[in-house]
Amino acid sequence: MTHPRYTDLANALPSTVPFVGPETQERARGRSFDARLGANESGFGPSPAAIRAIGEAARGAWMYGDPEMHDLRRALANHLGVEPDAVIAGEGIDGLLGYIARLLVSPGDAVVTSDGAYPTFNFHVAGFGGVLHKVPYRDDAEDPEALVAKAAEVGAKMVYLANPDNPMGSFHGAERLAAMRAALPGGCLLVLDEAYVEFAPEDDLLPLDPSDEGVIRLRTFSKAYGLAGLRVGYAVGHPELIRAFDKIRNHFGLGRVAQAGALAALADTAHLARVQGEVEAARRRIAGIAEANGLLPLPSATNFVALDCGGGAVRAKALVAELGRRGVFVRMPFAAPQDRCIRISAAPEADLAVLERVLPQAIAAIG
């Protein structure tokens, strides 16, 4: 029989994806969720200016997007106070993580991450044959010192750290991250995922320094800017590393409509400020709902709140399932001991009112 001759690596990989989408779950249950609170999207929506720009750009959707992303890269550089040659844009942080893995990971190369951290990074590393070495969280937060120690132990090419963290919402300030960067062994790249940076304390962020060859910073328009459906992310790093992306990236991967929407969203600073305020209020609302039902909200520097359910992973998993049956889509961490929690995205009041009504029913159902 004739069939594709897959590589040995592809044959060895499991048929899996990092996340099961809410649409998949909706098809299985035969109806839509009443409240979509599991993917950390922005239910507050994109900037009206971005919506207008997307509509206008749609008329030109017959054309490919600018492969150099000239206007977007320059706007980002101006926004960040760096040079354009230190910025690359791509198909969300997930896409950029894939490019980083392709650039740096050969079969057998050591890569370090936290056990239970964002799984798409692991997905890409495994796809290129890298060997993942994991360290546990400490006090429900990623552990920079343990990551550094493991990197030195295994001779890692890369260390991945999400800050603020997904799935727990924790945050490390500039001083601790600077110490981590200084302690990393030579030749080890710090991949700093800052998807939620717009919700973190602005005065305690590690300063951007594109002259540092050992760090790449990843950010996105999917969270605070409300453009998850367009898949626009960007990276800031040393110009030589940024230029290396051109060797392997999909040069037409970021379409014309996505570039136009991101440009307009970036310019609408008033909308961003409104969303940041809405998220802060929603985090307080989620915490209040949780406490009223005997759950413990953890501190968050993101657009979601992790809730300690008590009783470990079995109880948390049962609560996720019961909420889903009642029309509320949520997710949970997947590694112990963080898997005792569920994670609730910040959302408009109408969605949180559904959560407030359904949560006590779900808790009662699981006993």
DSSP one-letter string for 29-87: HTS--SEE-SS---TT---HHHHHHHHHHHTTTTSPP-TT-HHHHHHHHHHHTS-GGGE
pTM for the whole structure: 0.96
Residue 293, Cβ density class (10 Å: 0-12 exposed, 13-18 middle, ≥19 buried): middle
Taking a C-beta distance cutoff of 8 angstroms, is the pair 279, 346 a contact?
A: yes
Q: Which amino acid is at 317?
A: K
Residues paired with 342 in a beta bridge: 307
Cβ density class 187-210: b for 16+ within 10 Å, e for less:
ebbbbbbbbbbbbbeeeebbeebb
Sheet holding 158-162, edge to edge: 87-90, 233-237, 215-220, 189-193, 158-162, 110-114, 131-135
DSSP secondary structure code for residue 278 in this structure = H
User: What residues in the chain have per-residue pLDDT under 50?
Assistant: none
C-alpha dihedral (64, 66, 69, 74), degrees to nearest 10: -140
Taking a C-beta distance cutoff of 8 angstroms, is the pair 219, 93 a contact?
A: yes
| The dihedral sign for the CA sequence 245, 247, 250, 254 | positive
For position 134, what pLDDT does the model report?
A: 98
Helix H or strand E encompassing 306: strand 304-308
Q: Which residues are CB-contacts of 325 (< 8 A; sequence separation ≥ 6)?
A: 29, 362
> How far apart, in whole angstroms, are the C-alpha atoms of residue 322 and residue 181?
42
Q: Which amino acid is at 133?
A: H
C-alpha separations of 354 from 122, 250, 348, 361 in Å: 34, 41, 10, 11
For position 31, what pLDDT does the model report?
A: 94
Instruction: Catalogue all structural domains in the chain, each as residue range(s) with its CATH number.
Output: 19-45+270-366 (3.90.1150.10), 48-267 (3.40.640.10)
For position 364, what pLDDT does the model report?
A: 97
For position 1, what pLDDT does the model report?
A: 55
> How far apart, in whole angstroms, are the C-alpha atoms of residue 308 and residue 22?
22
For position 252, what pLDDT does the model report?
A: 96
